[in-house]
Amino acid sequence: MRRALPSTIALSLVAVLVVDAEAQTRGARGTPASARAEAPIDLTGQWVAIISEDWRWRMITPPKGDIVSIPLSLQGQQTAEAWDPDKDEAAGQQCKAYGAPGLMRGPIRMRIAWQDDNTIKLETDYGTQTRLLRFAAAAPSAPRSWQGQTSAQWIVRGGGRGAPRFGSLKTVTTNLRAGYLRKNGVPYSERAVFTEHWDVHSLPTGDKYLVNTNVVDDPVFLQAPFQTAIHYKLERDSSKWDPTPCDARF
């Protein structure tokens, strides 16, 4: 015949089991999932820009002074009027139009891949540029660069009680070198903040599109935020990837 445990021992065992279960639960909840595991959309692959609007500003270098549609301040207008590609080349600054705020509107192909579980790597063939989108804590302070430092976060919607989970990516880029919003010298300063929202749309045909809605805020050269929406299509192979260096003229 089995003997019952004394009530005090039984209660102690129950208490230990409850505490252990709670500790395990807290451990599971306290371990943050990686950004890759939490991704509500898939941005990876090779994307090509769809140049269906603003062709004369995006596919070719417009003439000096063509600043239409960009809300430049007086200082911004004066800087644009002083554009001189010879000086840019002589100063080794032929990449001024390839900084993140200007590059995304260019005739680019970009490859997006996970560098690690909390960092997305974005590479472009146009200008041969690389930008890292970091979900983890901000990287150590670094010198200003054309691609700056980008912090990233998922904006997640849905997913409760069996509802579908969807969302987008938000990125904010700072620590930029001063560059051009348009290749003919339309400027942004090193104080510019570049905010992007990334959305992926799939069609019944299997085609996938990426929409990058972005805003450039610059207290020096802009009198109002400059906002655009840029479209890309996912390519099914990588054969058209064609890295080219920065060019101050073309």
188 and 76 within one domain = yes
User: Residue 65 has what pLDDT?
Assistant: 96
111 and 166, same domain (yes or no): yes
Bridge partners for 234 per DSSP: 47
Domains in the chain: how many in total?
A: 2
Q: Which residue has the tokens 């279960």?
A: 21
| Same-domain check for residues 52 and 130 | yes
Give the span between the Cα atoms of 50 and 161, in whole angstroms: 38
Asked if residue 224 belongs to a domain, the reply is yes
* Residue 193 counted as domain residue: yes
Judge if pTM exceeds 0.75. Answer: yes
Q: Are strands 149-158 and 129-134 parallel, antiparallel or unpaired?
A: parallel
Say whether both 173 and 230 belong to one domain: yes
Please compute the mean of the pLDDT values over residues 201-225 and round it to a whole number: 97
Kindly report, residue by residue over 22-44, the tens digit of the pLDDT.
434 333 456 678 999 999 999 99
Same structural domain, 22 and 100: no
Residue 2 pLDDT exceeds 60: no
Contact status, residue 62 vs residue 249, Cβ threshold 8 Å: no
Environment class of 198 (CB within 10 Å of its CB; exposed 0-12, middle 13-18, buried 19+): buried
Question: Does residue 129 lie within any of the structural domains?
Answer: yes
133 domain residue, yes or no: yes
Instruction: Please report whether residue 80 resides in a domain.
Output: yes
Q: Is residue 145 part of a domain?
A: yes
How high does pLDDT run on average in the chain?
89
- Do 136 and 210 lie in one domain? The reply is yes
144 and 227 part of one domain: yes
Q: What is the mean pLDDT of residues 112-128?
A: 98
The band of 141, judged by pLDDT with boundaries at 50, 70 and 90, is: confident
Q: In whole angstroms, give the CA distance from residue 94 to residue 81.
A: 17
**43-57 residue pLDDT tens:** 999 999 999 999 999
pLDDT score, position 137: 76
Does one domain contain both 175 and 114? yes
- Please check whether residues 49 and 4 belong to one and the same domain: no
Task: Looking at the structure, tell me whether residues 131 and 48 fall in a common domain.
Answer: yes
Asked whether residue 109 is assigned to any structural domain, the reply reads yes
Residue 125 is part of which domain span?
A: 36-234
For residue 243, being part of any structural domain is answered with: no
| Contacting residues for 35 by C-beta, under 8 A, at least 6 apart | 117, 118, 119, 120, 135, 136, 152, 154
pLDDT tens per residue across span 151-200: 999 999 877 777 778 899 999 999 999 999 999 999 999 999 999 999 99
Nearest to 120 by CA among 246, 36, 17: 36
